[in-house]
Structure formats: structure tokens, C-alpha cells
Structure 1
Amino acid sequence: MKFPLLDRLTPVLAVLVSTAALAEPVPAASYSAAGLPPAVASAAAGIDAERIRSHVRFLSHDLLEGRGTGSRGGDIAAEYLATQFALAGLKPAGDDGSFLQKVRFAGSQTLDSTSLSFVPGGGEALPLKLMDDYVVSNQSLTETARIDAPLVFVGYGIEAPEYQWDDYKGVDVRGKVVLVVVNEPPSTDPKFFKGEALTYYGRWTYKFEQAARKGAIGAVIVHRDDLASYPWSVVKSSWSNESVALADDPRQKLQAAAWLQLEVARLLLSLSGRDLDEAIRQAGTRDFKAFELPVRMNATINSRVRRFESSNVIAMLPGADKGAGRQALLYSAHYDHLGMVPDQAGDNIYNGAIDNATGCAVLLELARAYASMKASTGTLPPHPVLFAAVTAEEKGLLGSKYLGEHPPLPVSQIGLNLNFDSFAPFGVPESVKLLGSERLNFFPAVEKTAKAFRLAIEADSRPLAGSYYRSDHFSMARVGVPAFSVSLGDKFAGQTREWGQERAREYTARHYHQPSDEYRPDMDFTSSAEIARFGLALGWQALGASTPIAWLPGDEFEATRLKSERTP
């Protein structure tokens, strides 16, 4: 198989993918306590932090220009991943006997000539500055959208009958623009929007989807750092480049999908004689009623529209059952990042070293480790093992959404998805976060394996961030596949938990979705290697489970799973 995009990079690859001395494995007692057979323990012990370093260094190199979806750099990353899967001896599981699963996209880049203002009745227009005051994208994929429509404040913009909640009751928003608050109604009751943990109703993607379903032509989300769990700079960088959608998505789309900076929203409400903080407080109660503001939104949204392809990269190691068993295992990680901004002053490449070259490197080491079992001892996993590096995660989990809708095996035959996304290079981990694992009957095995690897399982330290709904495992959960992400906790060897929490806050504030998320030679990839070993052990436990892995009774994804199992 030829990979033409890599031809000119062969000298670079020869240096970056050199074989280094193996890192010290975790104690043999850990593998024994986890119940791993000798061949599996040997493969886990062979996972190497320096190989992970080589992959991260290449995938986050400036030559790949930030791995933007549908860009040359993104395509090079896909070819690189396919090459590594091939070198490991895995079988292609993409389209037409290849490793690549082509995904058709439509992209819309908002142009600087875009304008937006709020016009109060009888008053002067309040003009806004693109990127500083607001960001916007035209989801309808036309080159120009002109909007002159009234604004309706609909609180959190949620319709959730299971919680007896409807922000749209008693109001018709067809042909109008809705103003919504980021996140969801505050609660400490686990039976009401899952308490402090964010559900999908609080995700920005849901708010835009629901506004479109209600017939609105636009939706404007009010950003607040504490509720969103990230600063305006993250919104700005994430929306400064092209917005992307699946080309064949039949859902109704908004002409204006926008975010509004908090202080601008405060001024907007004051123009209407209202206080923003009080409006948000009321929106968190069942007594809230949507209301139309005496303000119109006037906007001309100019966009550059294109249609293109990008690829998921999928490989498979057949199982000993020689068929598509009902307990196939899927490992996943996204390889895309934010690309580059040509006109941006200074460093304009969003390299995405931690997010998510690290997850891809872990995926590649896992693939090599599994394949090494067969090569060295003839050991095959009990069931097929799939490895998927997906595209367009940063565009709204689109690559994994397509994968879930077009899986290489029927979803009923995929027993578990373990996803890997962003690993800080801080040394030896002593804790992990496995958000969503507690929703599965597999959780006792998760606890046993974590204990064997001397890893404490931490609860979500930022429940308002809605982490479960922000990474690619969610796309598989939506089609019923038991799924969760494997993440680092806050505790590292030789450091306090508070030290780890401070490093995480610093990364979010200074480097997350910024050009500074780039490879440095002093990075310590021991953490990624340990996570890979732990992920291998978790996967082997899932492959050998005596009963199929399932969602616990009453889970929001249980019904979808049961339906998929009834489908031939």
C-alpha cells in the first residue's frame, strides 16, 4: 500500500520513529493481580514512553500545520497513522480494503466582513466586534446570510420531559433568534439533570440543535467562564477557523450559531431594562418563562463555503473466534486539531501536542502491543480488536459520529469502546478518571484493574464541564455501545494532588486550544505509557468478560443498546 503524502517526509520519519530503549515496566505483580496471561503481560511491559514521544513529536510538528480537518496536514496525519497500523501488522478496516474511512464534510469559514449588531426599539444600534464580542457561524452553508429578527430569551434552551423541564413552553421562536445561557439549570440533586454533573442538555451542540428543531433561524449562547469551564479565549480560538458539519446531515440548521461574550450580554439585557444575573437566576427555576426582548438582531454573515473529505483511520486485529463476536473491543482517539490561522500574528499553528497527539500515540502503542502478542507467541485476543483514529473531534465529535453510524462491525457486536484524549506529560500517574465507567456492569473489573496498577479512581473534579459528553466515546454511547474515556487524574508520584490540579488549571488557561500546546523535549511521557498499559489491561478484561458488558438498568443509553441487540 502506498502513502504518497508521506514520501517527502521520509527523512523526518526515520528520525522520529526510531526504536528507543524500553521503559521500565510496572511491577510484574500488577499484571498478575490484573489477571493478565503471560503473553499479555509481556506486551504491556513492552509499551515504551519513548515510542510515544516519537509519535507525539511528529504528529504535533509544524509540518502538519495543526492537523486541521480536511487540510493537507490533517491528511498527512491520517496517512501516518495508517502507515503505523500497517507496520504493526494490523488489517485495514476502512473503505475498500484500506485503513481510511472517508467522511464527507461541508465547511464554512466566517469572513471578517461579517457584521452583527443589536438594535433596541427606538434606540441606537449596538455594533459588536467579531471575535472580541462574539463568534458566529452560518450552519446553513450559504455564502451570505442576512438576519433581521427579534431576540427571545429562552433561559437554558432545554426541553427535557424526563425532568419536567421546558424552556420553550408558551413561546413561538420560528423565524426568530434565541438567546440562551451556557450549561444547564443548577442542581445538587442527582435525579435532576444529574446534579452537579453536566448532561448533554448543557452542551452547546444540543442548544443549537434544539433551537433549529424549534424553527429558530439563529441561536446566541451567553458565555460564562464558570459555567462553561473554560475562558472566552477558548471560544475565540475554537471558532476562529472553519466550522464543519457532516455533508449529508439532514437536520435543519441555523443561519446564525453564535456565542456572546458575557459583558456584551450584560449590556444587551440592560438595553431591555433587565439584569442579566437575575435573568440567569430565574432561568434556573421551573417558574421561568421565556420572553421576547425589545431588541432585534441585525446581522450579515459572510462565509467561505467548501465541501471536502477527511478520513477516520481504522485497523483491526482479528480475534481467536475467527468472526465478528459480540464482545469486540474498540480503542479510539481523535487525531485532528485546530489547524492554523494564516493571518494571525506570531505563532499561528495550533499544534495540539497534548490535545490529542498524546492520545493517538497511546493508540498506536496499544495497536503495536496487541500485534506483538501474535508475532511473538501466536496469542490472539478472544474477540476482534478495533483501533480507530477519528477526525473532526474538534468540530463537534463529527468523525466519531460518522463512525458510530457506519461502524466496521455492527454496533451490537462491539462490547466496549475505550477512548483516549489528552495526557499531560507530568510523570508517573497515581490516579485516573474514568468518567462513565460507573454506568456499566463492567465497573467492578475496572476497579480491580485500577487497584492492580496502583491507580486511584478519582471522581470528576469539574462536573460542570460535562466531560462525558465532550469526547468521542459519547458518539459510540449514543448508538448504544458501552463507552468511556480513560483520563489522567490529579495525583502524580512525588507531587500533591493540589499540584496536579494547579497544573491542569494552568494548561486550560494558557495552553488548551492555543498555539502553545506544542511538543517540548523536556516532556515526560511516562504518564502516557502507564495509561497505555492500563488501557491494555482494561481491554483484555473486557475481551474476556464472562457476560456481555452492558449499561446499568435505567441508564440513558440502555434502551438504544437493547434495540441494537435486537437488530440483525
Structure 2
Amino acid sequence: MHEKLLFLLAMAVLCACKPPVGPEAQDAPAVASAPASAAAKRIEADVRALADDRMEGRDTGTRGYDLAAEYVARRYAEIGLAPAGDDGSFFQHVPLLKAVREREGAAFRIQRDGRTTSLAFLDQFLPGVNYNAPAHTLTAPAVFVGQAVRAPELGQDDFAGVEVRGKIAVLFSGAPRRFDNDRRAYYAHSAQKLQLLSDLGAVGVVIVGTPESEQRGPWKSSAAKWDMPGMRLRNADGTGLDTFPRLRASASISADA
């Protein structure tokens, strides 16, 4: 009885608090939104300019990147910022190492039980960008390593009982779904995987696509950009930063291969 009474009292309070809707309330005109401020318009103009197709995605080393950098420098000057870059400018020169894929000679073959299977360039595989050699050929045994995650604090070790030294590691991208967002992002990062594989002595890497991974990044989109160069920061000795020279070759395979 008490629970029912309290519930009825609560309903009565809620009903009493609800404002009546009369004809005058129903006919009240909507309040017009305030006009955009000058600052909002400037921000919109900058975003539209930098997102324009002429900027070509602003990829490093492209004409679009240079156009975007010049636009930003011009805007810095317009709002009164003082330049602190090279030679009194807004720009700073950064040494980069550039690498590109070559279609000619690109091949991927799988030998198993006396049979050889060849994959088609672009449709089924893409060679990885190699920053450490102008050309490379690698023949080695392959071993599957799941998602190449070693996270003992989370009870995950895809390398348990697996020897990768001197072998080509075959793996899926990503990280276990049970990981929280931060640690899943960390263990899914390709640089983290490649560093671990290099430390464990692998000589090559093959990343196999899945329907889930290709839903996020369609294979056709990657294949369409196969000739886009890769860029890495260049060390003083001319080598690239985070290029993992122990991994002599890498490739990606489509989920449909």
C-alpha cells in the first residue's frame, strides 16, 4: 500500500509540474537562431579552404600539401602571429625519406605441399613500401601469429608456443575486442606490431585482410592508391625513422584472395 501511494504521489507531482499547453503556447513562433559570429565564419572559411579538393588530401610531399601550408602561413600573417621558422619564415624544413612501390617485378607466391599459388598484383596483394632497399626478394617459411599481440597484463599472447625467428609472420590487423579502447588502439597500431616482430627476429610480414577490416578500409581504396609514395622522417645518417630494416619484406593480402 505504501509503495502504491508513493508512486501515485510521484505521478501527481510530475503532472503538477508539467506546464499546461494552451492555444497560445501551440501558436508561439519558433525562436530564430542567432546569426553566426564573425569568428565562426572565419573558422568555417578556413576549414572549407583546407578541405577543398585542390588540397589533394594534404598528403606529405604533394602539391596539395604545399598549397595548404602556404594558406596556413598566409593566415598566420593575417592574424598577426610572428614567424619563428627557417630564415624568418613560418616554415621549417624537415628531412624525409620517400619510397614508392613498383608494379614491374612485383610478385607474391605461396608454396605448399609441392604446389605454387601466385596472387595477382592489386587485385589480391600489395607489396609494402620498402625504405631500406631499392628492391628485395624474400623466400622463407611462414607462420601465423593471430593479431600479433603480446599483452601479458591483459592475458593475451599470440606468440605463445610460436617461433617467428627467420620466418615470415602472417597476421590479421587490429586487436582483441575485449580490450578497452585505449589499449586496443595501442596494440592495433601497425608500428607496435612491426617493432615487436622485428625484435622477435621475423624477416617478413604479411597482413591478411578480413571482411571487418575491409569494411573500415576497403581494399579497392588501397589498391587505387598503390602508387602513392610513403614518407618517413630521415635520420642524420640517411636512414628512415621507424622503417624496421630487419623486416626485409612486407605485403598485404585482400580478404578475397
TM interval, shorter chain, is: 0.7 to 0.9
Note closer, same or farther for the CA distance 1:78–1:109 as it changes in structure 2 (3 Å cut): same
Structure 1 pair 197–211 and aligned structure 2 pair: CA distance change class (3 A): closer
8 Å Cα contact 1:155-1:167 kept in structure 2? yes
Aligned to 2:125: 134
Counterpart in the other structure of 1:120: 112
1:98, 1:119 → 2: CA distance? 56
Flag structure 1 segments of 5+ consecutive residues without an equivalent. 1-22, 26-44, 188-192, 265-568
User: Residue 52 of structure 2 aligns to which amino acid in structure 1?
Assistant: S
Q: In percent, how many aligned pairs have the same letter?
A: 30
- Equivalent positions of 1:93-172 (< 5 A) are 93-95=84-86, 97-113=88-104, 114-123=106-115, 125-172=116-163
Q: Residues 195 and 58 (structure 1 numbering): CA distance in 2 closer, same or farther, change over 3 Å?
A: closer
1:241 aligns with 2:233: no
* Partner residue, 1:256: 249
Cα deviation, 1:356-405, whole Å, max 9, x if unaligned, reads: xxxxxxxxxxxxxxxxxxxxxxxxxxxxxxxxxxxxxxxxxxxxxxxxxx
CA distance in 2, matches of 1:195, 1:222: 22
The separation in 2 between residues aligned to 1:208 and 1:235, in whole angstroms, is: 20
The match for 1:231 is 218
Normalising by the residue count of structure 1, what TM-score does the alignment of the two structures yield? 0.35
Of residues 136, 159, 167, the one that matches 1:176 is 167
* Cα distance in structure 1, aligned partners of 2:85 and 2:166: 42
**Structure 1 residue 24 and structure 2 residue 15: aligned?**
no
Checking the alignment, whether the CA contact within 8 Å between 1:138 and 1:145 is kept in structure 2 is: no
Among 195, 198, 204, which residue is 1:218 paired with? 204
Whole-angstrom CA distance in 1 between matches of 2:110 and 2:41? 53
What whole-Å deviation, never above 9, does each CA across 1:519-545 have from its counterpart, x for those lacking one? Answer: xxxxxxxxxxxxxxxxxxxxxxxxxxx
Number of residue equivalences: 216
Distance 2:83 2:195 in 1: 34
The Cα shift of 1:134 comes to 1.5
Structure 1 residue 101 displacement after superposition: 2.8
User: How far has the Cα of 1:61 moved from its partner?
Assistant: 4.2
- State how 1:503-542 maps to structure 2 within 5 Å: none
Determine the C-alpha separation between the residues in 2 that align with 1:91 and 1:211.
45
Aligned to 2:189: 203
Q: Equivalent residue of 1:117, what SS?
A: strand
Indicate conservation of the 8 Å contact 1:213/1:252, yes or no. no
- Measure the CA separation in 1 of the matches of 2:62 and 2:80: 28
* Bigger proportion of residues as strand: 1
Contact 1:107/1:141, CA 8 A, preserved across alignment: no
| Aligned-pair CA distance for 1:256 | 2.3
Question: Deviation at 1:156?
Answer: 0.8
- SS of 2:138 mapped into structure 1: strand
Deviation at 1:201, TM superposition (A): 0.5
The 1:165–1:59 alpha-carbon spacing in structure 2 relative to 1, beyond 3 Å, is: closer
SS in 2 for 1:102: coil
CA deviation profile, 1:10-53 (whole Å, cap 9, x unmatched): xxxxxxxxxxxxx923xxxxxxxxxxxxxxxxxxx432346634
Runs of at least 5 residues in structure 2 that lack an aligned partner in the other structure: 1-33, 236-240
Aligned mate of 2:67, from 70, 76, 83: 76
- Output the CA distance in 2 between the equivalents of 1:261 and 1:179: 13
2:29 maps to which residue? none
Query: Aligned in 2, Cα 1:74/1:181: closer, same or farther, shift over 3 Å?
Result: same
What is the CA–CA distance in structure 2 between the aligned matches of 1:166 and 1:197, rounded to whole Å?
Answer: 14
Provide the C-alpha distance between the structure 1 equivalents of 2:213 and 2:175, rounded to a whole number of angstroms: 9
- Alignment check: 8 A CA contact 2:186 2:192 kept: yes
Q: Equivalents in 1 of 2:131, 2:225: separation in Å?
A: 19
Query: Residue 179 of structure 1: CA displacement?
Result: 0.5
Higher Cα radius of gyration? 2
Contact 2:149-2:157 at 8 Å conserved across structures: yes
Distance 1:162 1:102, change over 3 A: farther
Contact 1:59 1:77 in 2 (8 A): no
Q: Is the 8 A contact 2:173 2:209 kept in 1?
A: yes
CA distance in 2, matches of 1:152, 1:138: 21
Could you list the per-position Cα deviations for residues 159-194 of structure 1 after superposition, in whole angstroms to 9, with x for gaps in the alignment? 12321322223333223211011111232xxxxx21
One-letter amino acid of the structure 2 residue matched with residue 217 of structure 1? V
Give SS of 1:221's match.
Answer: strand
Please show how residues 243-392 of structure 1 align to structure 2 within 5 Å.
243-248=230-235, 249=241, 252-253=244-245, 254-264=247-257
Q: In 1, are the aligned partners of 2:191 and 2:242 still within 8 Å (CA)? A: no
Letter in 2 for 1:47: A
Distance 2:182 2:253 in 1: 24
Please give the alpha-carbon distance, in whole angstroms, between the structure 2 residues aligned to 1:107 and 1:164: 39
Contact 1:137 1:255 in 2 (8 A): no
| Secondary structure in structure 1 of the residue aligned to 2:137 | strand
